[in-house]
Amino acid sequence: MSSLNRSRRTLIIVLIAFLLPVIIAWVILDQHWYQAGTNKGTLMANPVALEQAEALPEGWKLAYVPPKECQQACQNALFVMNQIDVAVGKDTDRVTPIVLTAAQRDDIAQYHQQFDFQDVVSADLLAQLDELPINTLFIIDPLNNVMLYYPTHADKEAMVLEGKNVLADLRKLLKLSRIG
């Protein structure tokens, strides 16, 4: 009898060893204690594939579509784009900061002396970006898919904190990317 009890006890211990992690994982997921994903921006469920993107430069792009008038949030976005381009370090040649507009704009052109970005004038590309919220920074991969976007802020400190989120995601993408 003692060997039968020992066998049952061993079987119960083995079952508990396999079932306990499954039960714990189920409870954690059921109670929403686990936050999936590590990205800091808003991941698009369906990435926007930009068609006819010949106007865009090669590689990764940090893009911004400015509002009709470049107010404080727009200026902060341009400042943060410039800072991110510098902060990327050795990968700075893999990332191009761009500003997308429908027509050449003087208010944006005045910031070229302060900030390093490329102007891309294309009404077709802007029409494809209608799904994105207005006044956001976004990341475009080398295959011209918009995948992550970030809000802009009129408060400079809030925008700098958002820039740190953009930089963290961009560094992760550049590290894991096998293209661009």
pLDDT in tens, 66-123: 988 889 999 999 999 999 999 999 999 999 999 999 888 888 888 888 888 998 988 8
Q: What is the pTM of this model?
A: 0.77
Strands 42-49 and 145-151: antiparallel
Residue 179: predicted pLDDT = 82
The confidence score (pLDDT) of residue 159 equals 95
CA-wise closest residue to 165 among 38, 79, 64, 63: 38
Mean pLDDT of the chain: 90
Radius of gyration of the chain from Cα atoms? Answer: 24
- Model pLDDT, residue 1: 58
Question: Whose CA is closest to 105, among 65, 134, 139, 77?
Answer: 65
| CA 175/CA 40 separation, integer angstroms | 16
Burial category of 41 from C-beta neighbours within 10 Å (exposed 0-12, middle 13-18, buried 19 and up): buried
DSSP H helices, 31-178, are: 72-87, 106-109, 123-128, 156-176
C-beta of residue 76 within 8 angstroms of C-beta of residue 115: no
- pLDDT for position 39: 85
pLDDT at 16: 94
Return the closest-CA partner of residue 171 out of 78, 95, 116: 95
135 or 137, greater pLDDT: 137
pLDDT tens by residue, 48-57:
999 888 889 9
* Residue pLDDT, tens place only, 24-49: 999 988 888 877 677 888 888 888 99
Note the pLDDT tens digit of each residue in 161-179: 999 999 999 999 999 988 8
CA distance 29 to 27: 5
Report in angstroms the alpha-carbon separations of 26 from 13, 17, 34, 38, 114: 20, 15, 11, 21, 53
The confidence score (pLDDT) of residue 111 equals 87
Q: What is the pLDDT of residue 134?
A: 82
